[in-house]
Structure 1
Amino acid sequence: MMITIQILRIPAEISKQYWDTFLSLVSDERRQQASRFIHQADGYRSVLGEVLARVTLGKLTGRRPDELSFTRNAYGKPSLTSYPDLPFNLSHSGDWVAMISGGSNSLGVDVEKIAPIDMKIAERFFSPRESRHLAAEPAEQQMETFYRLWTLKESYIKAVGMGLSMPLDSFSMVRSSEGIWHCPEATAYRFLSQRLDEGHMLAAACSTEMELPTQPDVITIEELYQTFL
């Protein structure tokens, strides 16, 4: 089974017909959570992430999306209750939801909205090697490099499934002379890093036994909705 990465852009507004359909598919907990968000966009991201997971994993398992149930490990990583060995991972931020699935080993994905940030954060969370690399970058390139490193690190700890119990400064993301990102402390993993658009960065991680796709598949709200007609 090949690994796929899917990305879904969150629209500014979702019609009531679409929204009611999406809400009917998610868990009670998700519906209640969505109703408590102050900003509608937060509810959209939360609900559409679960809907995308249900649709994708339903196709992989041959089950109806609403039949699936999820559980989380001690560190918060989700898995399918009835198919715990089917790897997948989700992330959402800003205008995008991202999902990685397929293969037979642990997967991780992270998407982050790019916004101005205090680079001193790197001193707290990055390894000395990464901090040196970031500091050596031209000033106009530092924010780009920061988000590449951050999303790559997040995708790795999500693949491992230990959350932030694994200190972010305990491993390094390094770019080779060919422009390929790798982790010297995790040579059994491959990584992907790319911009989704001017305002968002995406990264993914998987075991070296599988290849990561070079480009994600773009899923639209309309395609997601058509699945249930």
Structure 2
Amino acid sequence: MITIRVLQVPEVLPEANWNQLLSQVSAERRAQASRFVRQADAYRSVLGEILTRVTLSKLTGLRPAELSFTRNSYGKPSLSHHSDVQFNVSHSGDWIALISGSTDELGVDVEKIAPIDMQIAERFFSPKESQFLAAEPDDRRLETFYRLWTLKESYIKAVGMGLSIPLDSFALIRNVDGDWHSPEATSYQFLSLRLDHGHMLAACSAGEDLPAQPDFITTEEMYQVLL
């Protein structure tokens, strides 16, 4: 069964807890975290890997620290010895999201909502999407932009071929029931929702049904698994 787990990034982590988390991630991740100027960026990077390890340990029967990862030529991560266990992770702003629980392709994207130049849509969206966005009322246009953007990113991440798939080569369309689908990717299912007033989440599955809502997990719950 597919699950989407979301974690709100704390503003401050006690030093002892932070050091414990660092000890549970890869040496590459620790080195990356040390290079970030902003502590929030380090938190997102490390907590994203911790959430992945804690979640996938239950699916594989391995301890979190025993899991190892590899990436394909486009940068999509997978488990080194359990390639059938599909997952995908994303983080932005205050949130980290992880989708897992299927042997079919999965993708997830979370984005912090911020003012943007709508001309971006003309560069990256399909003509259908651009027309749909332009027809939206002014007070809904920014939200719709981020719904489309995260949906498209979730599909790109599920397929695992990066931007070798142009963003304007496929469209996301909302039907009368409010559900999203893509005429170019008919076998994929999509989910779009707001995590809070400032963040949008989208998910994509090549097979099983997506959950209607994510599961919320706290850093304290993750600590208990790591102990």
Specify if TM > 0.5.
Answer: yes
Residue 39 (structure 1) shift = 0.3
Output the CA distance in 2 between the equivalents of 1:134 and 1:228: 45
Q: Secondary structure at the match of 1:154?
A: helix
**1:14-53 superposed matches below 5 A:** 14-53=13-52
Residue 226 (structure 1) shift = 1.2
Residue 118 (structure 1) shift = 0.2
Q: Deviations over 1:52-109 (max 9, x none)?
A: 1111111110001111110000110000001111100000000000000012100000
Q: Secondary structure at the match of 2:226?
A: coil
Figure out how many residues of one structure are paired with residues of the other and give that number.
227
Aligned to 1:192: 191
Residue 176 (structure 1) shift = 0.1
Aligned to 2:6: 7
Q: What residue identity is the alignment partner of 2:91?
A: H
**1:89-108 superposed matches below 5 A:** 89-108=88-107
Output the CA distance in 1 between the equivalents of 2:224 and 2:191: 30
Output the CA distance in 2 between the equivalents of 1:31 and 1:86: 24
Q: What residue identity is the alignment partner of 2:219?
A: I
Q: Secondary structure at the match of 1:102?
A: strand
1:224 matched to 2:218: no
Aligned to 1:82: 81
Aligned to 1:61: 60
**1:66-215 superposed matches below 5 A:** 66-207=65-206, 209-215=207-213
Q: What residue identity is the alignment partner of 1:215?
A: Q
Aligned CA RMSD, in angstroms, stands at: 0.6
Output the CA distance in 2 between the equivalents of 1:96 and 1:198: 12
Q: What residue identity is the alignment partner of 2:220?
A: E
Q: Which runs of 5+ in 2 are unaligned?
A: none
Whether the 8 Å CA contact 2:64–2:226 is kept in 1: the answer is no
Output the CA distance in 2 between the equivalents of 1:144 and 1:76: 28
Q: Which runs of 5+ in 1 are unaligned?
A: none
Give percent identity, aligned residues only.
Answer: 68
Residue 18 (structure 1) shift = 1.2
